[in-house]
Amino acid sequence: MKKWYAVIGEPIAHSLSPYMHETWFKEHGIDAAYIPVQVKPADLEKAFFALKTLGVSGFNITLPHKESILPLLDHIDETASAMNAVNTVVFDGENYVGFNTDGDGFVQSLFAAPVKLSARVLVIGAGGAARGISYALKRSGFSDIVIANRTIARAEELARDIGGSAMTLADAEKSLGDFGIIIQTTSVGLSTDQALPISLENVKSGTIAADIIYNPLETPFLIKAKEQGCHTVNGVGMFVGQGAIAFEKWTGIKPDMEKMKELITNKLGGQYVNK
């Protein structure tokens, strides 16, 4: 029987996940559909029951349900549990199991740049996204991770959890030259008229600067980083990376990420450069 998958969230109309997964299903000759479903926070439990009743094989979860889905699932894997957020659910025939592929998706995409595991890494922000990425960085072998956040207590808590250190945004700004990799995880770059979360005046040329936002393709942070001579990584790789890990969990197949990065970049009106 035809399988079907979904992404639930609110808003959901502009999600590129249906395009990405349906393209991969087609490429691999898999008879499956992937449907965007708008779900209000108050309806999450009913929506999950409906998905189960209708035989969903797996689904993605986006804002604002990444945390509230946890108590509804049968099992939560270790990463999702540490992050207290789920973005992918797999139905194994018996149980609905929650995973979080965001952090690993980001770190996979980071390796498209010339990164060194010995680099000092600065993570700007200490929210859910920063948490997932910091855990994944640690797991991937980065050992010197510094978290800087507007609210320092949140940076200290995350640093404690992953075995890193914490800094104020002002201190991070002053010592920016010490970092080989700078990762922007706050929501500040979503709008092109917003200020940067951190001034990039002291950044060294050649530093890798990454943003998790993919729309706009070039956030004010990345534009400034490029002007300063940084090697920039936008959020398309993370978006495709998290989707590719979910796709593999559902189908056992590793899809072509480079080709998808190009398709998504084109869809967003950009030009893909494979560096």
Using rule CB under 6 A, residue 154 touches ligand ATR: yes
Q: Does 168 bind ligand ATR (CB under 6 A)?
A: no
Q: Which residues contact 31 (CB under 8 A, 6 or more apart)?
A: 2, 3, 25
The answer to whether 139 is annotated as binding is no
| Bond before 64 cis per omega within 30 degrees | yes
Residues 174-213 that bind ligand ATR (CB under 6 A): 185-188, 197
| CA diameter of the chain | 59
Closest residue to ligand ATR, judged by C-beta, is 127
Question: How far does Cα 68 stand from its chain's mean position?
Answer: 18
Q: Looking at beta carbons only, is 32 or 76 nearer to ligand ATR?
A: 76
Residue 131 Cβ, how far from ligand ATR at the closest point, in Å?
7
Number of residues that bind ligand ATR (CB under 6 A): 15
118 binds ligand ATR (CB under 6 A): no
Binder to ligand ATR among 9, 36, 98, 128 (CB under 6 A)? 128
Q: Which of 2, 40, 46, 66 is catalytic?
A: 66
In this structure, which amino acid lies at residue 187?
Answer: S
3 among known catalytic residues:
no
Residue 127 annotated as part of some ligand binding site: yes
CA distance 180 to 119: 5
Segment interacting with ligand ATR, rule: CB under 6 A, options 108-116, 136-144, 150-158, 248-256: 150-158
Pair 231, 114: CB distance under 8 Å: yes
- 64 is an interface residue for ligand ATR by CB under 6 A: no
* Residue 272 annotated as binding site: no
Catalytic sites, residue numbers:
66
Q: Could you tell me which residues are annotated as the binding site for NADP(+)?
A: 78, 125-129, 149-154, 212, 235
Q: Could you tell me which residues are annotated as the binding site for shikimate?
A: 15-17, 62, 87, 102, 214, 242
Q: Could you tell me which residues are annotated as the binding site?
A: 15-17, 62, 78, 87, 102, 125-129, 149-154, 212, 214, 235, 242
Chain positions contacting ligand ATR, by CB under 6 A: 125-130, 149-151, 154, 185-188, 197
